[in-house]
């Protein structure tokens, strides 16, 4: 019987017009160990063309933006699906003025590649070959951010693949092996942010598959943007004891000093603050 190998913690939150994706950075390799630099959140370009009335319009895009993706489960499956989704979203053409450009309809296109990749990997990797994809984007039909979850349904030896819309209203949802602990913390401390919840799960070590640096992305109007995280740790007395900047799973050190040396390049990145008090 197949089971989903969800080794992560992804938190999706909607609060008013703001929709955010947060995660840890750990990837597990069975009994061989783990890596704490796994990228689990992605900003994917989205482009759509309208029907062309003349040749000059063939290379014009009617709308361009970035959508958000979070991956849960098999990294091989998830990364393959993510690349396939990127190809789909980057090359959409409306055939007529009546074409449906809503997020659920775009989801039906994504489902085809999600299903195709998963069906090829499941017989080979079995329980290690399944993943879930959380996808969010600005819906041109309803003029709001909408979020879809792509998932497998497992019945004995049979697996089907589908998607559903989630979080149409304010709320928070947890995905992955650490979701149980995330829910418990959220219910006990309602004022915590998704990043603070994930950090508490990591520090608790209740789920060894959740770890590494924090990752964060959010929609700014219609555009999904990944940001780094500035983690400030305080002791019980409220004193700052450590501050660390992360860019995905990587620690950022001496970036300004390094930019003043050859080849004189600087990686421009926004950072999301996250304060954490040690128990």
- The pLDDT value given to residue 76: 86
- The pLDDT value given to residue 2: 41
- The pLDDT value given to residue 7: 65
**Contact predicate 24/182, CB 8 Å:** no
- The pLDDT value given to residue 58: 66
- The pLDDT value given to residue 57: 65
- The pLDDT value given to residue 3: 41
- Exposed e or buried b per residue across 16-52, where buried means at least 16 C-beta atoms within 10 angstroms of its C-beta: eeebbbbbbbbbbeeeeeeeeebbbbbbbebebbbee
- Exposed e or buried b per residue across 110-125, where buried means at least 16 C-beta atoms within 10 angstroms of its C-beta: bbebbbebbeebbeee
3-state secondary structure of 12: strand
- The pLDDT value given to residue 273: 94
CA distances from 88 to 81, 93, 110, 217, 278 (A): 11, 10, 7, 21, 44
**Contact predicate 144/14, CB 8 Å:** no
- The pLDDT value given to residue 5: 45
pLDDT tens for the chain, 279 residues: list them: 344 445 689 999 999 989 999 999 998 887 788 889 999 999 999 999 887 667 666 678 889 999 999 999 888 889 999 999 999 999 898 888 788 999 999 999 999 999 999 998 888 877 678 899 999 999 999 999 999 999 999 887 788 999 999 999 999 999 999 999 999 999 999 999 999 999 999 999 999 999 999 999 999 999 999 999 999 999 999 999 999 999 988 889 888 888 899 999 888 889 999 999 977
Q: How far apart are CA 51 and CA 157, in angstroms?
A: 44
């Amino acid at each position: 019987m197949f089971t989903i190998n969800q080794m992560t913690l992804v938190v999706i939150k909607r609060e008013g017009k703001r929709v955010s994706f947060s995660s840890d950075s750990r990837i597990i390799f069975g009994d061989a160990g783990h890596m704490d630099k796994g990228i689990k959140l992605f900003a994917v370009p989205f482009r759509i063309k309208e029907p062309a009335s003349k040749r000059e319009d063939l290379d014009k895009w009617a709308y361009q933006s970035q959508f958000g993706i979070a991956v849960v489960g098999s990294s091989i499956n998830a990364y393959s699906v993510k690349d396939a989704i990127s190809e789909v979203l980057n090359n959409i053409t409306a055939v007529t003025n009546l074409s449906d450009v809503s997020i659920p309809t775009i989801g039906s296109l994504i489902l085809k590649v999600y299903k195709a990749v998963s069906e090829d990997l499941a017989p080979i990797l079995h329980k290690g070959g399944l993943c879930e994809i959380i996808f969010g984007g600005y819906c041109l039909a309803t003029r709001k951010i909408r979020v879809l979850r792509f998932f497998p349904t497992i019945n004995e030896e049979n697996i089907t693949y589908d998607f559903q819309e989630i979080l149409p209203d304010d709320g928070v949802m947890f995905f992955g092996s650490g979701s149980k602990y995330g829910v418990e913390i959220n219910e006990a401390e309602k004022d915590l942010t998704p990043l603070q919840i994930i950090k508490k799960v990591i520090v608790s070590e209740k789920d060894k598959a959740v770890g590494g640096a924090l990752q964060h992305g959010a929609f700014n109007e219609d555009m999904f943007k990944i940001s780094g995280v500035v983690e400030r740790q305080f002791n019980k007395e409220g004193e700052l004891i450590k501050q660390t900047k992360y860019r995905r799973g990587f620690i950022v050190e001496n970036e300004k000093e390094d930019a003043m040396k050859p080849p004189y390049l600087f990686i421009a990145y926004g950072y999301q603050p996250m304060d954490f008090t040690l128990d």
